[in-house]
Structure 1
Amino acid sequence: MIDWRSKGFWLPEGTFSGNPSIFDGGFTWPLMVVRRDAVAANIATMAAYCRRHGVEFAPHAKTTMAPGLLDAQMRAGAWGMTVATPNQALVLRRLGIDRVLIANQVLDPTALAWLARESAAGWEVCFQVDSIAGVEAAAATGGPLRVLVELGHPGGRTGVRDLDALEAVARAVAAAPGLELAGVTGYEGQLPDVDAVDGFLDLLVDGFLRLGAAGLLPERPWLSAGGSAWFDRVIERFARVGSQARILVRSGASVTHDDGFYRTRTPFVRVPSEGPLDAALEIWAQVLSTPEPGLAIVGMGKRDAPFDEGLPVPLSVFPDLPAEGITVTKLNDHHTYLSVAGADLTPGTLIRFGISHPCTAFDKWRAIPVVDEERRVVDVLETYF
């Protein structure tokens, strides 16, 4: 139900309907929109990329938590979806997603009991373990539960830090009634460069081979990694066990891409013949004040735009002027500071911004217009955060 509670929609009375332009008066600023054609192209690009390389794709749903986009990715051939939390897994279960990987260890007995019941009912769900405590918590449900053992790296997030610990956790899974070891996983996204990524992925493959040689893995086990910055290296380094493993990559940001963090880090910068991706998110916001020379204040802030991996990027000034000489310098809750060098901005001017890091953009908007290239609304996405 899109009505007066929906940010960006201007509906003092009634509910939203039709296919208006975002400039026709039924919307107010700031407003984040999704470009339909860019999203469709990105989904098709990633689906084709995974098919070419013979890997499965489970895009990370936590980026968007938007049923319309998750459904589009599944229809394009995704094996399933990845989530970060049991709550997100619950949402996807209710949405009818048949296969879900929780890319985290689950320790909450309430959530584990529910996962075991849903698994017993036929739902294909799997999560990660990186400790004996995690194995014991899962085993306490009586199962059936499928898990992946996780390898991490020094200074990183979760995951055991060496192959001895990886094997110890795998052996604990094998000895636990009701648990099934489905494979090995890791996350390389926080590593700083190609050499560090390749080194970690090679160690992950070594761990996979070690567990296989010890008889701890099933036939055709999973080997999974791959955020949105290094999935090309994942495919390259995992190739030496491609005949033994089912390789699963998990890029989430690729569905909308961005104009900041991932624009420079996407693998398609390194292998442009395999891409490209197109930034699909934009925020339209108005200049509220030009209080001093060289400064403009825009009515958009941390409540509206991501700022954790880079600030918004001015793209154009309405209707289609280039945003030359305009730079975002900082954000408050509801204000953006622009450094203006030579641009003629006045209060009321409408500016189109790109965003950096889509994973912290969607959670700020419960209803997001999907627009064509004339900025007419063709659909509305709901987000489930």
Structure 2
Amino acid sequence: MSEFLKGSGKPELLATQGWNILAEEVSFPVAVVKQSAISNNARWMAQYALQAGVKLAPHGKTTMSPDLFKQQIEQGAWAISLATVPQVLNAVEQGIDRIILANQLVGKHHFELIAQLLIQTDTEFYCFVDSPDNARQLGEFFQKKNVSLNILLEVGVENGRCGVRSNEQVFELLGVCQQFTALNVCGLSFYEGVIATKHAVEQINAFVNDIMAMAVQIQQHHGFAVDRPIITGAGSAWYDVVAKAMNTSKTCERFTYVLRPGCYLIHDTGIYQTAQQQVEKRCQLACDITGSLTSGLYLWAYVVSRAQPNQVIIGLGKRDVAFDAGLPTPELTFAPQSQKLDKAPCTFRVTHIMDQHCMMSVASDSTLKVGDLVCFSSSHPCLTFDKWRQIGVVEDEWVINKTLTTYF
């Protein structure tokens, strides 16, 4: 018997008539993305980047779906950012040829894999470096291989994540890198998302301004290996603040600015919806662009039990949907017997989630019964995507006509 992936229907029907979710032609639960939302979100962010004077290297770890990477590149993305060497290799295998490893490249086997990649392909590859030890390891290995490696010096914040913490450390790291002809220092990188205080906007502005000053100093000392170095940062919450800080610098024409948001393509009805609302409050440009980001990921599941009047049990759990930043939100209900599709009442609320089930409170007089379907949106799309090897694509009707393969 061949492998069967969750959320699948009969393979022979996919390309001809598709899998109709409301006709129960798939296994449940099933995860789908709306192509209209994906196209809208890709266009919206591409337009934002163009008008903000920055380039996009969307973080691919959100979806790990090369089909979606290609749609982002078709909309003008300059590169794709990734987090691990296996992610890089899978992306290259699927045709992505400019990649930022937004992480440290550490470990002998990973060095070997990237060296082989650079020898055998024309991939334009960058990785982050934040320590003299790592710089020496990379320099010694790639020098022996006679392979050039593009690196971005990572700058961080106190008690944050990776990245050197001071101007002195930046120049110490630069000095180590310059000992190895195999290491091309192509710019600076950072991640501001760890700054989460009530004064975050001011702190992020100061952080980016400090990095710009570092970049100017390095450039004045001829420390970069390229004429127009890269300055890259920004996740999905503060990209507007970062872009504005980059472009208000007096030296903005000296550098290539690259933003790395990932979740915008899928968006959600949770933490990233809230983050985008804050962007629109802060940023006039975000308001001026036609349309807005739209949640594009949905999960359909059966009601599997109603053992008490005010609660139903849904066949959707932690193995299927993100739960770290809010529980799934009921959006629609469908009764197969009556063929009635309705908006979920605001009284429906997921109260608890387990491995394969979630508990949803309902009004005691709700007509929802076992065998009915409930459609959910969610918060934090990254953690939903990595639970699925296959995700359906639908247009505005709930018919899956193709699937996305993920490579987590």
TM-score relative to the length of structure 1: 0.94
Instruction: Tell me the distance in 2 between the aligned counterparts of 1:48 and 1:94.
Output: 28
Q: What percent identity do the matched residue pairs reach?
A: 32
- 2:39 matches 1:32: no
1:1-385 map, 5 Å: 5-11=4-10, 16-18=14-16, 19-121=18-120, 122-141=122-141, 142=143, 143-192=147-196, 193-217=200-224, 218-239=226-247, 240=249, 241-266=251-276, 267-268=279-280, 270-271=282-283, 272-274=287-289, 276-318=292-334, 319-341=341-363, 344=366, 345-385=368-408
Q: Given residue 404 of structure 2, which amino acid in structure 1 is its aligned partner? A: L
Q: What letter corresponds to residue 308 of structure 2 in structure 1? A: E
**Unaligned 5+ residue runs, structure 1?**
none
| Bigger mean CA offset, 62-71 vs 314-323 | 314-323
| 1:1-21 deviation line (CA, Å, top 9, x unaligned) | xx751101244x867442232
Offset of 1:146 from its aligned partner?
0.7
For residues 68 and 393 of structure 2, what CA distance do their matches in structure 1 show? 11
**Alignment partners' CA distance in 2, 1:329 and 1:40:** 33
Q: How much does 1:216 deviate?
A: 1.1
User: How many residues align structurally?
Assistant: 383
Instruction: Tell me, in whole angstroms, the C-alpha distance in 2 between the residues paired with 1:379 and 1:190.
Output: 37
Letter in 2 for 1:98: D
The Cα of 1:162 is off from its aligned counterpart by 1.5
1:15–1:364 CA distance, 2 compared to 1 (3 A): farther
Moved more, 312-321 or 116-125: 116-125
Deviating 4+ runs (over 4 angstroms):
13-16
Q: Distance in 2 between matches of 1:15 and 1:373?
A: 19
Distance 1:242 1:35 in 2: 37
* Aligned-partner Cα distance in 1 for 2:111–2:86: 11
- Structure 2, unaligned runs of 5 or more: 335-340
Kept after mapping to 2: 8 A contact 1:149/1:184? yes
- Give, as a single letter, the amino acid of the residue that structure 1 aligns with 2:316: M
**Which whole-Å CA distance do the structure 2 matches of 1:287 and 1:356 have between them?**
21
Q: CA deviation at 1:343?
A: 6.4
In structure 2, C-alpha distance between the alignment counterparts of 1:138 and 1:79, rounded to whole Å = 26
Using the TM superposition, give the Cα deviation of residue 269 of structure 1 relative to its aligned residue in structure 2, in angstroms.
Answer: 5.2
Q: In structure 2, what is the Cα distance between the partners aligned to 1:203 and 1:73?
A: 31
Q: State the distance in 2 between where 1:98 and 1:161 align.
A: 32
Looking at structure 1, the residues matched to 3 and 105 of structure 2 have their Cα atoms a distance apart, in angstroms, of: 38
Once the two structures are overlaid, the 10-residue window that deviates more, 272-281 or 216-225, is: 272-281
The answer as to whether partners of 1:185 and 1:225 remain within 8 angstroms in 2 is: yes
CA RMSD in angstroms comes to: 1.9
Distance 1:190 1:204 in 2: 16
User: TM-score normalized by structure 2?
Assistant: 0.89
Q: Which moved more, 1:15-24 or 1:319-328?
A: 15-24
